[in-house]
Every structure is written in C-alpha cells, then in structure tokens.
Amino acid sequence: MNLAQKLGYPENTKLLIIHADDAGLSHSENQATIQTLQNGFVNSYSIMVPCPWFYEMATFAKNNPNYDCGIHLTLTCEWENYKFGPVLPISEVSSLTDHNGYFYKTRKDFKEHAKPFEIKKELTAQIEKALEFGIQPTHLDSHMCSVGVTPEILEIYKELGRTYNLPVFINKEFVQSISLSDEKYNFKNTFLADNLLIGYFSDFEKGELRSSYAKALDNVQPGFNVFLLHPAFDDREMQGITINHPNFGSAWRQIDLDFFTSEECQSKLKENNIQMITWRDIQRIR
C-alpha cells in the first residue's frame, strides 16, 4: 500500500502538504506564517529554535497545537548581517561555528568543519529546547537541507527521527542536488516525499514566481508532494535580514505570503483535486 491508501484515499491521489519554513527567523516571518495558517492554505510550518524570534513563534505553537508544527533543525546561517549560532554553549560544539561563534554561512564550510558527534549533540539540544517549551512537534526538517551534505550527517538526522518517533522530511532528489559527498546515500527503508515543489530564482528574476506557483499546482502528480515556501513581509526588518540575498529574499517571501493566501491558490487546489494532508496524519499511520 502506498501512503494515499494507508490514509484511506485511492492509490493515485494527489497528496499535498503546503509547508512554511523559517518560523522563528524574525517577527516578520512569524506574523506572515501565522497569517498563512489562519487565513491561507499553508497547513504545516517549522520553527528555527536557535533564532532570536523563536520565543514568539514557540508561544504561538504551544497555544495553537491544532496546527502542524515541526522543528526546523538549524546548522547554517546564510545571511550577510544577521547571525545566530547554536543553542548549546559554543565550547561544547565549537566545530559548528566560525571564529565569531555563529553558524557557518555555507553548507560547504559547515561540511568541512563540523564534527558528527557535535552535530548530533546540537540538534538534540534544539529538539529538547522545543519540547521543554511545550511544543508538540509533528515532524523534523532541516534549514538549507544542511543535514543532507553527506550520508553520515543524513543518518544522524534519520536517527533523531527514530529517537523522537517523528517523521523526517527527506526528498531524495533534493538531497542529491545539494550533496557535497561522493559517498552513496542509503535511502532503503526511508520514508520519502515523492516530489518537492519550490520556487526558482529564474522565475523570480523574470517576475513570474507567482505564476510558477499556480503552474506547479496545476502539475501536481499523484503521490506525496511537499510545497516549501518562506512567507514573510517585504518590510524593513526582512529587507535588512536578506540584504544582498535576493534568492528567498524579502520580496520573494512577500510573494509567498500573497499567493498562498489567495483565492487563486484555493481555486487551483480545488480544480486539480488535490488532497491536503499533514505530518500529523503521517505520524498516525507510521
């Protein structure tokens, strides 16, 4: 039986989670994420525990357990002037940080310096901090998919899912696309998302990002699909965070917010007979 059948749907059902990454990154990101959950069609989100605005979004998660909430495991920080680091003391996980005590900016630097036992230690601490706050996570996922840079690190990620009895988001093609290793990945007996839907910088540059989202919904395939977005307001806070980083920058994130709260999005979901599911649904049948 495939996932659709296990959930009680016909075998060829188009299953979809619309998921908002990066909650906790900023006040702007938090408020936009809440708006897409309450007034739009996002039905899943995940929180970055190490970020300064974690507390605000964690409070929302604790008070609104009806929404699907994951832990956005964080090991890198891509921004130019906005920085954050581990939740553990730097002395305990020094291989994960640069000389200023912040996470590395790129997956490459992270891969070259990070020690596996410190990765596991920090990620466990992030999950434990969320649990201690009162969050009831429905899954684990990874910021920038940094856990996918090598097979060894991906196995740590999968092990954490088993330890906490949580599904982990993995799309085989995406992991392979960002891999920095020549070693072979082991996807045997691994729960995988069949298709990852995400915006592309080429569409953003041409002013076609919103229309590309509509087309993506028109072309959703039978199986388990995850649409990843990053809603936020194109305000001064997000402009400052994403300076010199138009890829998933503040203007891009405003488009994410606008489209996934629109009547057009609602119409596309209905026209294409897309069945929305959640990580909580998946938790129940695992």
pLDDT (average), residues 155-171: 98
Give per-residue pLDDT as tens, 63-92: 999 999 999 999 999 999 999 999 999 999
Residue 171's pLDDT is 98
pLDDT (average), residues 179-184: 98
Residue 81's pLDDT is 97
pLDDT (average), residues 251-270: 98
| Cβ atoms < 10 Å from Cβ of 179 | 18
Burial class of residue 14 in the structure, from the number of CB atoms within 10 Å of its CB (0-12 exposed, 13-18 middle, 19+ buried): buried
Which position has the token pair 């696309």? Answer: 177
Which position has the token pair 């495991």? Answer: 73
209: which 2 tokens? 């990002």
CB-CB contact of 30 with 53 (8 Å): yes
Residue 41's pLDDT is 98
Q: Provide the 8-state DSSP code for 144.
A: G
Residue 286's pLDDT is 79
DSSP characters over 215-284? HHHHTPPSEEEEEEE-----SHHHHHHTTT--TT-HHHHHHHHHHTTSHHHHHHHHHTTEEE--HHHHHH
pLDDT (average), residues 136-152: 98
The H or E element that residue 90 is part of is none
Average pLDDT, rounded, for the chain: 98
Q: Indicate the pairing of strand 139-142 with strand 195-197.
A: unpaired
Distance between CA atoms of residues 166 and 282, nearest Å: 9
Distance between CA atoms of residues 147 and 109, nearest Å: 13
